[in-house]
Structure formats: C-alpha cells, structure tokens
Amino acid sequence: MASAKTKLRLQERVPLPRTAWKLADLAVLFLLLALLARRASSLVAAGGAGAAPACTWCWVAALICEAWFTVVWLLNMNAKWNPVRFDTHPERLAERTDELPAVDMFVTTADPKLEPPLVTVNTVLSLLALDYPAGKLSCYVSDDGCSAVTCYALREAAEFAKLWVPFCKKHGVKVRAPFVYFSERGGAAADDDDDVVEFLRAWTSMKNEYEELVRRIENAEEYSLVRRADGEFAEFVGADRRNHPTIIKVLWDSSNQDAAGDGIPSLVYVSREKSPTQNHHFKAGAMNVLTRVSGVVTNAPIMLNVDCDMFANNPQVALHAMCLLLGFDDDVHSGFVQAPQKFYGALKDDPFGNQLQVIFEKVVSGVAGIQGIYYCGTGCFHRRKVMYGVPPDNAAATTTSMKDSPSYKELQNRFGRSNELIESARSIISGDMFRIRTPTVVVPDLTSRIEAAKQVSACSYETGTSWGQEVGWVYGSMTEDVLTGQRIHAAGWRSAILNPDPPAFLGGAPTGGPASLTQYKRWATGLLEILLSRHNPILLSAFKRLDFRQCVAYLVIDVWPVRAPFEVCYALLGPYCIIANHSFLPKVTASEPGFLILLVLFLGYNVYNLGEYKDCRLSVRAWWNNHRMQRIVSSSAWLLAFLTVVLKTLGLSETVFEVTRKEQKSSSDGGADADDADPGRFTFDSSPVFVPPTALTMLSIVAVAVGAWRLVAGAGEEGVSGGSGVGELVCCGWLVLCFWPFVRGLVGGRGSYSIPWSVRLKAALLVAAFVHLSTRK
C-alpha cells in the first residue's frame, strides 16, 4: 500500500549528493583562515619590529578585505550545502482536472520603447495557450507606460489568439510563443499528426496571420490610434504616463464558457492611475494593483507573475506548478513556487555575465533545500492567501483572529474600503483554496466589474491600509521580489523550486555594457535598501520565523553591493603599493609560507570556480567571462549602487527605477542581430557607471608600467625590505586582463565600442588624484 501511495505522489523532493564539493568548500575555507592567521601574525611581528606606518596600513587594509572575503565564502557555503530538486508528475493530474484551481496570470510592462509591445504580445500568447482548462485562466497585463499602442497590440493579440490557441493544442506545439515557433526550422513539423499536407497548410496560414499581426503592431502609431473616429482609444487622449486616470479594458471575456472548456482565457488590460503627488512604488505598486483588480474580477486562488519578456516555454508549466501546490500534505511547504530564470537566444559563453546559470544551479538549488528558493520576481506561482498576509496553519496564536474569522472592520483596515475586494478577500482567507467555483456564478460578466476594478486601482486607494507592508508585494526596495519573498518566509511559509524539462519560462538577457550594468545596479540598489531597512533578514530571523540558515542564505545576495568597497579597496592596493613602493603581499620566496598560502588559495579558488562551470556544462570561456564581469560589476554597478543608497540614507539623493531594454531575438540566430558585427563585445555610453572601472583600468596599466620598469631597471632593490615586488605586479597584470574590455574601449574601439571622452576625462582626473596622493610623503 505504501508503495502504491508513493507512485501516486504529484511531486518528489530529491536531495542532491554533494560530498566532493563540500570537501572543496572546507579546503578553500581552511586556506582563507590560514591566510588571515598568517597576515595577522605578520602584522603583530612587524609592529614589534617598528615597521613603516604606510606598510602597516596596507597590510591592515588587506587583512580587513580578506576577512570580508572569508565571510562571503561562509555565506556561500551555507547556501550551497544541501541542494535539492523537485520532480513533478503532471500526468497524474489527468483524473483530477476538477480539482485544479483557477489561475490569474500577471504580465507587467513599463515602457513601450524599452519593452516593445510585440515582446509583451508573444509572452501573453504563450500564456493564453497553456495546457490548462481555459475557463480557469485569466491574463492581466499591467501597462505602466499607459500606451495606446500596447493596448492596441494586446487587442490584436486577443483576436489572433482565437486562431493560435486552438492551433497549438490541436497540433501539440511545444513552444507557444509565436516568434520562437515560427523562427525554428523544425516549427513546420508536428508530433502525432498523420495528415502532413493539412498541417503544412494550417502552419503556413498561421505563419501568415502572425506576420500580419507583427506588421499591424509595428506600424501602429500612438497619435493615430488615440484620434480614431470610433473613439476606442479615447481614454488615452491627453494621458501622460506619469499623470492619468485608470484605464481598464476587457479585451477578451471567457467568463461565459465552461470552466473546463478549450476556449480562450480572459485577457484584461490595466493601466493604473498615476499622479505626480503620489508614490507609485515601481513594479511592486503595479503588482499590488493587479492583485486587487484581479481580486474583484476573477479572484483566482493562485496567481502567476511574469515579466513582459518571459514567455512560457513549457506548455504544461501550470500543471507542473500544481503538482507542487497540491502535492504536499499541507500548504506550508509551497507558499510560492518559483521557476529559475533561464534565457533564450543567449550569447555564447555569456560575455556579459548575466545569464546566472551557475548561481541558479549551485546557490539557488542549495537554498531550495533550506526554507525554500528565493522569489525571483518573474516565473512565480503565488497562493493569493499568502500574498494577503495569511500565516500558515501552524502560525502563532496572535494571528489566528485574522485567519479564523476576520471581521469586516479588520478586513477594511487591511485591504481598503472596496466592498467587492473585502468580500473576495474574505472568501480567499476563509475558503477552500483549491476548489474552483463555477465562473458563471462568481463572475457573470467581466465588464460588469470594471468600475469596482477602477476603484481599487486608484493611486490613493492604499492610504491607511496594509498594502505594501503586510499585504501584497512589499514596498521599500527596488528589488521588491527579494523583499516580498523574505516577508513570506519570515511568516513561516516555505517555497518550492519548479525546474521541469524543458524549462518553464525563457526570457531575454540584456546585451551590451550599458544594459547589463543598469540591471546589476538596479538589483544592487534594491538589495542594499533591504539590508539597511527593518526588513533585513537578520531582524526577520531574530523576531519572526525566518530560519537562521535561510537568513544567512538571503545575505548571500543582500550583501552584493556591500562587497563593492572591499573588492575595490583590495584592487587598489596593488597599484598603490607599486606607485608608492610599498608591499601588501608576502614576498615571493620558497621559504615564505604566506606566499605559498596565497598562491595555493589563488589557484584553488579559481580551479573550484572553473569546476562549477564545467559541472554546469559551461565552457572555460564562460567561466572567464563571468570572472572578469564579477570584477567589472563590483567596481561599477555595485559601487554606484552602494554610493546611491548611502546618499539616499543621508537624505542627499533619491533612487530612480531604471528599466532594462528588452530585445526580442529568435532562437535561431544565436541571439545576435544580423547587422551586428560583434554582439558579444562590450559597449559603452557616457553613464557614470563606467567611470570607476575606466579609472581602475588606467591605474592598473600605469602600475604595470611602473612595476615593470622597476624590475627591468633594477630599481626595486628596497623591495627586499618592504618595497613592492612581483606579487603586486602580478595583481595589477591580472586586473588589466579582467578589465580587458575597457582596455579595448580605450585604445581600439569605435562608436559604442569606444569609451566616451567625457568618461575618459573623469577617469583620468581620478587616476591623477590617486597617483598624487600615493606619492605624497
């Protein structure tokens, strides 16, 4: 009986063996501690011998930085220690279709220029065509750009979906984002299709329909749309993206079809109200508006959120998610279900270090074995009751009044003054989360709910409520996803990782220097905001229900921007010591144990990281690209994020949300535009983010030149007694290699491949100031 019961499980939690890697973790940790001990003992001995103050200062700075690197290593060890995976069995849901919960799907877009409407349309079409009862799916698109073109594109997509969705389900299409499907040479082939001629005719017709859809969307103009005679887009007349009333349009209503039918899911366009006098809280605010709007319209117990460029790559992704949401004995173990971020059309060998494959396979899989995977902001299935702040069944007694029988006044204080939202919240909090109600009873007509939806999407609706704090996506950070996930885990919920084959969702990774560093800067800014707030994981672990190891796992990413000053300081020690003729490294002698420890640590650490990349089926080139990007990002995006948050904390600046440009590429072209000569080469603009790494590159080149001249001319005789030596020269040479894209940008680039002269001038002034201070007696 036990065996039969096990075979019927919807999911299995499988621990992954990691013995050899644990031994390697400990070996590197031992070397780090040995280096700290050796450096500390050398400082004590040097102090007793009356060493030069400048030399002592260098060694103290190095000791502090190396101590920090040891802490970071410990944080990563904890995160990687117990990796797990979850195997899901969606085929076992075949006889449980009636038990499947409804799902509200959220797609967010913010700028029609940086996030083209065609990208959003492909994501929406892939979601509408999921293998899931259409009557139990509804798709909501949040347009923070308030663009008539985006709304028009979605309306056209709804019409195209009437052809696309039946075609996909009839022919078993595997990838249901049209731009991918029609770009693949194998697209014109279907499994289990006996009538090839009929299929090819249908395929050709569908491809022509899609090309016509693309033509209409790309030729659409804002000006002509809002002035059409039929007035369909009259609400967009005079609307400014930062100042406009709520616009909600039901583009397709499936509420009258059978819940288990094979029709088209509902599609709703939402552009929330904006006012210059109100704080809109970026993406977190948009997600909370979608949560409230869907709450008064369809009120599905499960919510899926994806970015506009993150299409559903696996048509059964919702069924895989339900295996985790329904497959545990209690809800606690699946407060949310997160799919790791993966990318389509990715450039070979990850030249910009933003595909994050090793992080997701090593760190995130390890975190999944503690209290659960991080919430990554896209590709995540949420329980609505969890987002409403409902604690798990075994929550502390102080919260049971909310869970058991919330009064109308409690719900009003928590969710706002909308009667419709209060009633829907009451049903979610006290009802059976996985029993679908007949849509014709709950929502007879979606258009009849538009006025209620507009009420809850007003920019002043949240005043005096718990939205953004205890309810919904949490405010206070540009990385609202990490902050919200921390709140959920701190309440006692766990999360599960969703990693089916093929991958659940695929998105586009930014290319070029500006887009990549903009993304890293935004992430780092939000993470440091979390670390300096009352929501930081240390406080959540001390006073709430965040597991200690989960707290430490959150610190792995929360400290990204804090790493910048330590890594930049350590990078500056080499050039400083060469220019000032001091030393911060043990001498290169066979009898010096400090040198041997440092050499073995350097080689061991890099071999360890290379081994991780090979274990993830990546090339040596990919390892090197990510290694050098780590150095570039820490001295640019992370450093500026650190300074930005410090200035904000002092009241001298405000953080600004920067949207990363989305580019749609077919999977057949390797992610490169046909007319782009070198898509993997680093590009530059005049942003301040490029000034620090450019200055560090110039400084390293100067230091290598000075150090090499000293060695050749024999001017380093005093190196025996404390001057710079081979170790410092090697460090500077290694920096030049790591910053090679900037070297090319200085001496061999044209156009966007060349560092702008404004950046060069600012960097040169910083270098001149550093050299002047280094040579002062």
Catalytic center residues: 144, 481
Q: Output the CA–CA distances (angstroms, integers) from residue 350 to 212, 365, 622, in the order listed.
A: 34, 20, 6
Residue 694 φ then ψ, to 5°: -65, -45
Helix (H, G, I), strand (E, B) or coil at 563: helix
Q: Is 470 annotated as a binding residue?
A: no
Residue among 151, 157, 126 at smallest CA distance from 249: 151
**How far is 502 from 494, CA to CA, in rounded Å?**
25
Q: Is 558 annotated as a binding residue?
A: no
**Cα Rg of the chain (Å, integer):** 28
Q: Are 380 and 321 in contact (CB under 8 A)?
A: no
Q: At what angle do helices 196-219 and 148-171 cross, to 10 degrees?
A: 170
Q: Are 586 and 45 in contact (CB under 8 A)?
A: no
Residue among 296, 336, 334, 326 at smallest CA distance from 426: 296
Residue 203 φ then ψ, to 5°: -65, -45
Which residue's structure tokens are 């919430």? 375
Q: Is 98 annotated as a binding residue?
A: no
Residue 467 φ then ψ, to 5°: -65, 135
**How far is 292 from 294, CA to CA, in rounded Å?**
5
Residue 127 φ then ψ, to 5°: -75, -40
**How far is 723 from 585, CA to CA, in rounded Å?**
10
In total, the chain counts a number of residues equal to 777
5 by Cβ neighbours in 10 Å (0-12 / 13-18 / 19+) ranks as exposed
Q: Is 547 annotated as a binding residue?
A: no
**Residue 318: strand pairing partners:** none
Which residues, in sequence order, are CB contacts of 121 under 8 Å at separation 6+?
Answer: 153, 154, 156, 157, 213, 217
**How far is 602 from 596, CA to CA, in rounded Å?**
10
Q: Are 513 and 683 in contact (CB under 8 A)?
A: yes
Helix (H, G, I), strand (E, B) or coil at 709: helix
**How far is 367 from 546, CA to CA, in rounded Å?**
13
Instruction: At 466, list the tokens.
Output: 């718990």
Long-range pairs, 251-256, Cβ under 8 A, ≥24: 251/154, 251/155, 251/158, 252/158, 252/161, 253/445, 253/446, 253/447, 254/134, 254/135, 254/137, 254/138, 254/439, 255/298, 255/439, 255/440, 255/443, 255/444, 255/445, 255/446, 256/439, 256/440, 256/444, 256/445
**How far is 573 from 673, CA to CA, in rounded Å?**
41
Which residue's structure tokens are 């690197």? 69
Q: Are 703 and 579 in contact (CB under 8 A)?
A: yes
Detail the residues annotated as belonging to a binding site for Mn(2+).
Answer: 283, 307
Detail the residues annotated as belonging to a binding site for UDP-alpha-D-glucose.
Answer: 115, 144
Detail the residues annotated as belonging to a binding site.
Answer: 115, 144, 283, 307
